[in-house]
């Protein structure tokens, strides 16, 4: 029997098998149960987080024959769902826009929209990397989106939602998938390895999860490689070799010695690391990632990792930020440094040089109590400001409304409805919003979700009125505009950069416009 890659073998067939993405999955399940399925969805998120996987499951939910209406639990046994799994369903068309950018292809596709589904309830179109479509293709698509036949559902997947025209975006429900946490990835790996009967140690899995950067698919590809490399077994040394990294315990010790201001110990550990002949940029990445986790733990107190918790108490918050900057700086200049090894050494020297303990009194070095106290003070201050902010919330104009909207937690559905409205008036417990006439009425359950969110902020019941009009400054429109401005700025910065200009000229090259992205 041929070997089936893990990413395919363990591709989720139902919503409950999806790793992470709870918010998106729950929103979809609710809409199916309440029989309020949208006709066009945008699934956005970075590579390998499950966009097309979730879209395929949704397609199965809609056309499964096990029930007389769409079901959140597709059976994966009826011919409709099996054909979707095998890519053979005539009612489920999957197109990769990265290879079908010509307007002809989209036109052909749209011509089939009018035909009723052959076997299923719906005719479902999944367009992957939809932002790659040409302007003409989007225009052709837009006409159909304006008045889609009731049997048609569009599922768009994209890594760059900001490149989809606003006219198209506004007719879709956008669901944003998050990167998957290391903890969830490690749990997933463990289940798979148990099922595959493959021995492993914990450190290997941590290293692989770290390198996967929140992508399930990348994680499983690395796991495949590690299994092949280790001859059917995973050990931290093999996996470290494969990934050019080392198990984190040495990096953690290194950070600890920096915090203690112990240069001798730090360079002893560095010597041990160098014996393992790692990729030095990967070590820098590990340092950055650990410092990031420590900062998060200091702010949120939510790490499940004992080592991170311990370091978070030991290190001063500002010093932690400084170390992060030093490592990031070293990493960003890594490629121009003549010696990878020296690049890490100089980074370590800088970290030791800026240690504030050298300026503290002898006693606080011994017990570190000043630092702990300072940390507590910081958190208390933070809590105070949060409470103050909520009690004094003004909602007087559209700017207030945009700020307010972004400060409350809403489901993707409610976000989509209310995020596309602008502010008219708020007084006497009555909030009046302007809504686009094409947006349609807000469903009752979504309105009540929004009402309870807003009422809890103001500590009283708030009534909501709608007026139809031309909305041009809603929170979502402004957010998209900001994103676009950021991209334009980034592009003009790059295009006007003298060294890049001379570089482009020297090599007679050009800059791919889509390759420029603003830093988030």
| Residues at the interface with Zn ion (CB under 5 A) | 64-66, 75, 78, 81
User: Which of 79/134 has CB closer to Zn ion?
Assistant: 79
User: Which of 13/293 has CB closer to Zn ion?
Assistant: 13
- Return the closest-CA partner of residue 409 out of 143, 17, 9, 23: 23
- The region that residue 421 occupies, defined by phi over 0 for left and psi between -120 and 50 for alpha, beta otherwise, is beta
- Return the closest-CA partner of residue 89 out of 55, 60, 61: 60
User: Which of 81/343 has CB closer to Zn ion?
Assistant: 81
Least distance (Å) from Zn ion to the CB of residue 67? 8
Asked if 38 and 172 count as a contact pair (C-beta separation under 8 A), the reply is yes
Residue 371's H or E segment, with its range, is helix 369-391
Q: Residue 499 — φ and ψ, nearest 5°?
A: -70, -35
The token pair at 189 is 């790996």
User: Which of 32/177 has CB closer to Zn ion?
Assistant: 32
Nearest-10 Cα torsion for 280, 284, 290, 296: -160
| Rounded CA separation 351/355 (Å) | 7
The token pair at 241 is 């070799």
Q: Where are the alpha helices (DSSP H) in 276-368?
A: 280-300, 306-314, 317-332, 340-353, 362-367
| Rounded CA separation 241/345 (Å) | 21
Torsion sign, CA atoms 53, 57, 63, 66: positive
3-state secondary structure 484-505: HHHHHHHHHHHHHCHHHHHHHH
Least distance (Å) from Zn ion to the CB of residue 62? 11
Cα distances from 175 to residues 165, 314, 402, in angstroms, run 16, 40, 20
User: Which of 78/360 has CB closer to Zn ion?
Assistant: 78
């Amino acid at each position: 029997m041929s070997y089936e890659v893990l990413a395919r073998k363990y591709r989720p067939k139902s919503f409950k098998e999806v790793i992470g993405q709870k918010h998106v999955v729950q929103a979809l399940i609710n809409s199916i149960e309440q029989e309020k399925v949208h006709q066009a969805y945008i699934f956005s998120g970075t590579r390998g987080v499950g966009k097309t996987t979730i879209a395929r499951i949704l397609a199965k939910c809609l056309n499964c024959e096990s029930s007389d209406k769409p079901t959140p639990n597709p059976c994966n046994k009826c011919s409709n769902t099996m054909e979707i799994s095998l890519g053979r369903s005539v009612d489920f068309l999957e197109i990769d826009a990265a290879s079908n950018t010509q307007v002809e292809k989209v036109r052909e596709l749209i011509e089939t929209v009018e035909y009723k589904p052959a076997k299923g309830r719906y005719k479902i179109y999944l367009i992957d990397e939809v932002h790659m479509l040409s302007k003409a293709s989007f225009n052709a698509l837009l006409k159909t989106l304006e008045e889609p036949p009731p049997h048609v559902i569009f599922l768009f997947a994209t890594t760059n939602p900001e490149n989809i025209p606003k006219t198209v975006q506004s007719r879709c429900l956008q669901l944003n998938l998050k990167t998957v946490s290391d903890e969830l990835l490690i749990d997933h790996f463990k289940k798979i390895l148990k099922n595959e009967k493959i021995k492993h140690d914990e450190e290997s899995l941590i290293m692989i999860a770290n390198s996967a950067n929140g992508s399930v698919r990348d994680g499983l590809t690395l796991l495949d490689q590690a299994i092949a490399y280790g001859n059917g077994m995973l050990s931290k040394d093999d996996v470290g070799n494969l990934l050019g990294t080392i198990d984190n315990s040495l990096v953690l010790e290194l950070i600890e010695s920096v915090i203690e201001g112990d240069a001798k110990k730090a360079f002893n550990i560095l010597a041990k690391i160098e014996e393992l002949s790692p990729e030095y940029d990967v070590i820098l990445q590990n340092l950055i990632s650990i410092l990031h986790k420590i900062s998060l733990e200091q702010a949120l107190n939510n790490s499940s990792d004992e080592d991170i918790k311990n370091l978070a108490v030991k290190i001063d918050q500002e010093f932690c930020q400084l170390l992060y900057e030093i490592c990031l700086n070293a990493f960003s200049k890594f490629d121009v440094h003549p010696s990878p090894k020296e690049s890490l050494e100089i980074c370590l020297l800088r970290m030791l040089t800026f240690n504030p303990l050298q300026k503290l009194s002898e006693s606080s070095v011994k017990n570190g109590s000043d630092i702990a106290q300072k940390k507590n003070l910081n958190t208390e201050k933070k809590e105070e400001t949060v409470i103050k902010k909520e009690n004094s919330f003004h909602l007087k104009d559209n700017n207030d409304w945009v700020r307010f909207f972004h400060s409350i937690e809403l489901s993707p559905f409610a976000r989509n409805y209310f995020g596309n409205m602008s502010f008219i008036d708020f007084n006497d417990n009555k909030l009046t919003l302007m809504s686009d006439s094409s947006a349609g009425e807000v469903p009752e359950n979504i309105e009540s979700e929004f009402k309870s969110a807003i009422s809890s902020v103001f500590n009283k019941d708030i009534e909501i009125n709608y007026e139809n009009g031309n909305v041009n400054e809603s929170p979502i429109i402004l957010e998209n505009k900001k994103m676009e401005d950021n991209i334009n700025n980034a592009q003009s910065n790059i295009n006007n950069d003298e060294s890049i200009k001379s570089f482009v000229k020297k090599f007679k090259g050009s800059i791919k416009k889509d390759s420029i992205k603003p830093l988030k």
